[in-house]
Amino acid sequence: MEVQVWLRWYTRILDDFGFDRRADEESASYLDAFLREHGCLRVDDIDVPSSDFIVFGAGPSLRSHLKRFRALDEPMTVISADGATTALLEEDVLPDIIVTDLDGKMEDIIEANRQGAVVVVHAHGNNLPALRRYLPLLQNIIGTTQSIPHGCLHNFGGFTDGDRAVFLAAALGAGRIVLAGMDFGEVVTRYSRPDMDSELGPADPVKRLKLEYASRLIDWLERNGDVRIERW
Ligand SMILES: Nc1ncnc2c1ncn2[C@@H]1O[C@H](COP(=O)(O)OP(=O)(O)OP(=O)(O)O)[C@@H](O)[C@H]1O
Ligand SMILES: Nc1nc2c(c(=O)[nH]1)N=C(CO)CN2
Ligand SMILES: [Mg+2]
């Protein structure tokens, strides 16, 4: 997605959620400064084993879709969105790429990154403390911002970790993107909410609106991109 097109979505998002653009940009500057000092990866540095991608989100179908993926035994580039990484590790699947704003189960994201997954870290106004805490524990980092990209930072388009992962796949030249565990709707899992006791729970109103945006952004890509999107 062109940055200019994304910025029109972003203006509406700022308005609907009451986010502060300056806070988003402060976080982004912190991430950029960290990456400049410690080294940032570029898109070309990412190893893409196949132009068939699968993006795992943290919705209720995640476990069953993981089993379906394992049974397929097809070479695909695997991206996990944040909390979904935990379910992948439980099934012994190492993602090639993790897309995260650092609020999934961080010990699992750190472990998958240690085992070789590239981590695409997103900066926004609500995650500066998480950036400070976790960036030093990660390696092979690509930085993203939801404002104007600069320095080491990219903006491939997309809002939540799941739909940003889909836009990243498109930017990496995907011909086909399978959506797994991407239910959207009104139910969240313990993978999405690591402090929840039960397996499933109701999405709060903010989460529901985030998932609505995620779904609409993917619909936009399906209409406007040249990639085939396959919904499991
Ligand atoms: N029903 C669902 N519940 C949770 N995540 C879902 C669902 N359907 C799709 N997803 C996708 O899975 C991704 C990973 O979930 P997770 O809750 O860890 O992400 P997140 O973007 O960090 O959300 P949050 O802002 O609420 O922390 C989401 O970003 C979303 O795009
Ligand atoms: N400022 C701000 N930006 C975000 C937020 C958030 O909570 N605050 N959550 C996101 C992932 O769902 C993506 N972007
Ligand atoms: Mg997250």
DSSP states along 103-153: -S-HHHHHHHHHTT-EEEEEE-TT-HHHHHHHGGG--SEEEEESS---TTE
Q: How many angstroms does the Cα of residue 93 sit away from the middle of ligand 1?
A: 19
Pocket test for ligand 1, best of 62, 161, 183, 221 (most atoms within 8 A of CB): 161
- Residue 17 and residue 19: Cα distance in Å, rounded? 5
| Residue appearing with tokens 């990660």 | 138
Whole-complex ipTM: 0.96
The CATH code of the domain that includes 120 is 3.90.1480
Which ligand gives the minimal distance to the CA of 164?
A: 1
Q: Does residue 195 surpass a pLDDT of 90?
A: no
The whole domain housing 91 covers 3-231
Q: Among 11, 204, 210, which residue has the most ligand 2 atoms within 8 Å of its CB, making it the best to mutate?
A: 210
The count of other CB atoms within 10 Å of the CB of residue 96 is 21
pLDDT of residue 32: 98
Residue 231 scores a pLDDT above 90: yes
User: Residue 174 has which token pair?
Assistant: 């995907």
Of 197, 230, 212, 193, the residue nearest 83 (C-alpha): 193
What total number of domains does the chain contain? 1
Please choose, from the candidates 173, 189, 192, 183, the residue with its C-alpha nearest in 3D space to the C-alpha of residue 231.
Answer: 183
* Pocket test residue of 88, 127, 163, 192 for ligand 1, highest count of atoms within 8 A of CB: 192
Ligand 2 atom having least distance to the Cα of 214: 12
Model pLDDT, residue 64: 97
> Does the predicted TM-score (pTM) go above 0.80?
yes
Is residue 191 pLDDT above 90, yes or no?
yes
Atom from ligand 1 closest to the CA of residue 57: 12
Q: What is the pLDDT of residue 183?
A: 98
What separation in Å is there between the alpha carbon of 43 and the centre of ligand 3? 21
pLDDT mean over 23-37: 98
Query: How far, in Å, from the CA of 161 to the mean position of ligand 3?
Result: 6
**Closest CA to ligand 2's atom 10:** 160
The pocket around ligand 1, CB under 6 angstroms, is made up of 57-59, 81-84, 101, 103-104, 160-163, 182-185, 187-188, 192, 207, 210-211, 214
Q: Is 65 in the pocket of ligand 2 (CB under 6 A)?
A: no
**Given the structure tokens 């200019």, which residue do they identify?**
4
Residue 160 pLDDT class (50, 70, 90 cuts): very high
Calculate how far, in angstroms, residue 67's C-alpha sits from the geometric centre of ligand 1.
19
CA torsion 72-100-194-132 (nearest 10°) is 150
**C-alpha 214 – ligand 2 centre gap (Å):** 12
pLDDT at 194: 85
Ligand 1 centroid–CA 82 distance in Å is 8
